[in-house]
Amino acid sequence: MICVWKSGRKAVPSISLFPPIWFSTPWRCTSTAAPSTAPSPSPPRTSSAAGCSGTNGTIPTYRFCTSKRRMPPSASGCNRRRFFAKMKQNALHVRLIYRRLRRAFLRVQKEYNEKLTEKRNCVIIDAGVGCILFSGSCIESFPGAIPLLFILEVQIMLICDTHADTLFTAAMRPENKRDVTLETLKMGGVNLQTLAMFVGGSSEIEAVRQCFDKMYKALDEFKASGWKQVLSPKDAKEGETAFLLSVEGCDLLYDGMDTIDKWYDMGVRMAALTWNHQNVVATPACVNDTDKLTLFGVEVCRKLAQKKMAIDVSHLNEGGFWDLLDKGFVPLASHSCCRALCDHKRNLTDEQLKKLFEAGGYVGVNFFGRFLAPEGDITLELVADHLEHMLEMGGEGKIGFGSDFDGCNLKPIHLDDPSGLPLLMDVCTRRFGDKITRGIAGENLLKYYDRI
C-alpha cells in the first residue's frame, strides 16, 4: 500500500506492505501539536488513536527520516558509521520496493480519493495489496486518524455486521441518504453485511405485504447494481463485500409456514420473531414482559432451526426469550445492548446475557445512542463498554457488531456509517487485544452459525 498524504506544502509518500516490513532506520514522530523530541528507532507494532497520542490527545504519525540531526541515542559513538550505512541501505531498499510496486500494480482509486480529500486532505493509491486504505491514517490535520500500519492489519480481519435496515430505507424512503452503500462498506472493510427485510411500522398484514413487495424490488435493484449476495456466512471472504438477508418481524407468517420456505429460497438466513408490535408468533418487549411464544410461534422456531436459520430475539420480550431457551433453541440477538449499562427494555439483562452465552448464542452490539447510554455524548468508548460488559458475562467468542445502520438516527461520534468501523476496531484492539477483536469483528458470527 502506498499512501500519499499532505504535510504543509509538500506531499510525503509512505510505503507499507503486509506483512509489515520493519526497518532499523530512524523514524520521526510528529503530531498535530509539537513534534516529539525523542525519536525512537522503530515505530510501535500497533499504534492507536489514543495509545500513540500525547497528553493533549493528538495523533502522532511516523515518517521515514534521513536527517542526521534525528539520530537515535543508540547511534552515537562507535556505532555512528554503522548506523548511517544501515540507514542508507534501507533507504535504497524502500526506493526499490516503491519502484517495483509502481511498475507492477499502481492504480489510483479515484472514487475513494475524491471522497477522502473532501474530509481529510488525503490521496490514496492502491498498489495491489488487495484492500483499500480508506482512512487518512497519517494525516496530521485529522484528529481521528489511525496509524497506517494498524489500518492494514484491520483490513485483513473478517468484518461482519448482523443488522441494517438498508433495504427498508431504499424501498420506503428512497429520498433519504443511506448509511450503508457499497462504497461505505468497502471503505469500512466490511465483508458481510446482514440486510434486514423490516416489516415496517404498521401491524396491518396488507401493509406488511406491500412493504415486503417493495423490498423485494429494491433487492433486485441492489443485485443489478453490483451487490453480491451470499447464502451462508461461511461464503464471506476477506477482501470482498457481500450481504446476507434477514427478516425483522415474522408478521407475514399469517400466510402460513410456507413463507419460511420462500424466505429460505431467497437466501434469508436469520429471522427476528417480532418488531415493536405483537404478531402471531410472539410478543415484543415494548408490549409486556410475561407472554410466552404462541403455539404457532414454537412451530415456527422449530422450522427455522431445522433449516439452520438463526432465531433473532432482538425486540422479543423476556417471556418469549426464556421460553425459547427452555425449549433448547440457540438464538442470537442481532442488535441489542446491555441493560446494566443502559436501562432500556430493548436491552438484555445480565441474567439473559449469561444464559444466552451458556446456550451458545450470540449478541451483536447495537450502535443506537439511546441503547448505549440514556443521555450524554455517544462515543466509540461506549460501544466498547457494552462489549466489555458482555465479555464479563461470558461472551468471549459470542459477541460482535449489530449496527442498526439506516435504522437509527443517533450514532456514535465518528461512526455515522460503516466507513467508521476501523476507528471502533482501534478502540477494541486497545481495550481487548488482537485475538478478541478479531472474533468480535466477524469470526464469532461464523462460529455461531456453525453451532445452530
User: For the residues of 163-217, what is the DSSP string, one character each?
Assistant: -B-HHHHHHH-TTSPPS--HHHHHHTT-SEEEEEEE--S---HHHHHHHHHHHHH
Query: Which residues are registered as beta bridge partners of 108?
Result: 125
- The pLDDT of residue 9: 32
Quote the longest CA-to-CA distance of the chain.
Answer: 85
Q: Three-state SS for 293?
A: coil
- The pLDDT of residue 255: 82
Q: Please, what sign has the CA dihedral across residues 219, 221, 222, 224?
A: positive
Closest to 194 measured CA to CA, from 159, 145, 147, 148: 159
CB 339 within 8 A of CB 349: yes
- The pLDDT of residue 389: 99
Residues of the chain with CATH 3.20.20.140: 160-451
Q: Rounded distance, CA 378 to CA 448, Å?
A: 29
Phi, psi of 155 (to 5 degrees): -65, -20
CB 448 within 8 A of CB 309: no
With a cut of 70, list the residues of the chain below it in pLDDT.
Answer: 1-156
If you ran DSSP here, which 8-state letter would residue 443 be given?
A: I
Query: Cis link prior to 19 (omega < 30° from 0)?
Result: yes
- The pLDDT of residue 201: 82
Q: Rounded distance, CA 122 to CA 92, Å?
A: 26
Q: Please, what sign has the CA dihedral across residues 351, 353, 354, 356?
A: positive
| 10: enclosing H helix or E strand | strand 10-15
- Domain range 160-451, CATH architecture: Alpha-Beta Barrel (3.20)
225: its cell numbers: 447494481
pTM for the whole thing? 0.70
363: its cell numbers: 449478541
302: its cell numbers: 422449530
- The pLDDT of residue 50: 37
332-358 b/e with 16+ CB inside 10 Å = b?
bbbbbbbbebbebebbbeeebbbbbbe
Task: Specify the residue for cell string 448482523.
Answer: 162
- The pLDDT of residue 183: 94
Question: How far, in Å, are 287, 302, 451 from residue 356 at the CA level?
Answer: 22, 18, 13
Count other Cβ atoms within 10 Å, centred on residue 375.
8
Closest to 22 measured CA to CA, from 72, 74, 93: 93
- The pLDDT of residue 203: 80
3-state secondary structure 37-90: CCCCCCCCCCCCCCCCCCCCCCCCEEEECCCHHHCCHHHCHHHHHHHHHHHHHH
Count other Cβ atoms within 10 Å, centred on residue 240.
12
Strands 192-198 and 242-248: parallel
- The pLDDT of residue 205: 87
Q: Side chain identity at 360, as an amino acid letter?
A: G
- The pLDDT of residue 31: 36
Question: How far, in Å, are 245, 258, 269 from residue 265 at the CA level?
Answer: 11, 11, 10
Closest to 165 measured CA to CA, from 332, 331, 368: 368
Query: Which residues are registered as beta bridge partners of 196?
Result: 246
